[in-house]
Structure 1
């Protein structure tokens, strides 16, 4: 015996939610609130909120502003430990700077005393002449004479573009070109180059023997035969390199000078080199068959290897190991 069938479901049973939305779009809570307002209005009571909405918004804005202000002041307030460390570092920088100035003055005074003793006639004339030649070669004595001046100036189109600033490698290239052109003494930004001088960078600053140069214009002075320097420099790759710099907004200039005065270089401290004693197997002083290059990277003919350094160098291949090694050697020599 089959059970009696139950009532059939309504065809629109699956649309109950849609029917509720269409028939009663307002939430029952809103309807109740509207009904209460209507009752208060009918009873003669005020239906306005106790606190106006704009007052509430103003209070909220003031509260948020105070919270943000307190947070910013808390973050910007210097921490005692950081302030103390910064003050200590500043004091150390000032102290070390004073020590450097004092030692530099003492070094100059001692050098002057040594010169007085040498000029007093206590040394044979041959030794004095050799000593004078060594000082000229090493750059430890001031020199004067005619020569050539090359200037490089940062571009002023965009301060944040590194290609429009003069790099240390640019000065290295110019210095090497001048050495190869026959320069006898060179100074960069008033700093005399010696056999162990280095031109390098620290951030955006260019250093010569750890002394920062003041930009945006950099002056390279070379003493030598002006006519020979101009001719040989024009034959070198220096002018082409300066043209490359010009396309990047860096201004350059080359001019001869009738009289240049280059200061003495800083005293050199030899930590590993020493004069060989008798029987040590090393070359004796005056031995002309050593066959090696002269001090400071000079070739036997008195010129220096001209090896462009830096990505601006024309005619170098970064994939060529020989060119890369040559650039590394130039960057280490600094001149």
Structure 2
């Protein structure tokens, strides 16, 4: 290794382009090798009563860990086991009801192939992902996924680059095929990601975010417009519910209604809220998904909604600011 790190003009970019081109070609080549073994691998996992145990050594181990995480987050229970640790006790994590997915580019990695007799004794189905269909690991697998590449992107053809990219992509293909076969939905995904933005968007209900009790803006039919304006100001939500004698929502009065009122009436003295309110007013149920409430606000170009129960009585008020603060939008 020399101290000269200079490259010709544009050399750094050219090197990157070459790397990406080779890895792109490696992924494209996988398509032609998707055969009955891929379908067999999917069938083994779909029939699995336990979990998918993914294993691999070195760089393949890093890819195996990511594949396990992707499977687990898309409806296929999975976890990673280090093959070296498996031979020293962690094999106890694997049960006959599991399926093992083993990664090794050469298909001869000693720590991985050492597990073969033990897996056969347990009767645990084995799916291999290697770059050599004639390797020991591939030959002893119940299904083999060919992740072979013509050459690594590394100019020395040594560092795992194209091969790890191909394995990662093949793992994604496996996870997505299983996801679609299971009918896995976005809400299912959110259940395993409650802390992420998707989880918030899909799991939060209107009742989780609405203002209620003393924070619910409300006046009765027949109230002077002045009282409605004071209620809007007091609560700071840009609108107030207007309820009838039975406590049911008769309409709403909003900041936008006030602008229209000022355009249409030169004298507000003696004006009741009934005459200028919006009827019946947009409303949502407490158990509605917050994401659906956002759509209603967007479609109607409004920033707040009345929340009513099954009998039409206001139980809360939802404002766009609450949705923003919660991360729903």
**The two structures share one fold, judged by TM-score above 0.5:** no
Q: TM-score with structure 1 length normalisation?
A: 0.20
**What TM-score, normalized to structure 2?**
0.20
Larger Rg: 1
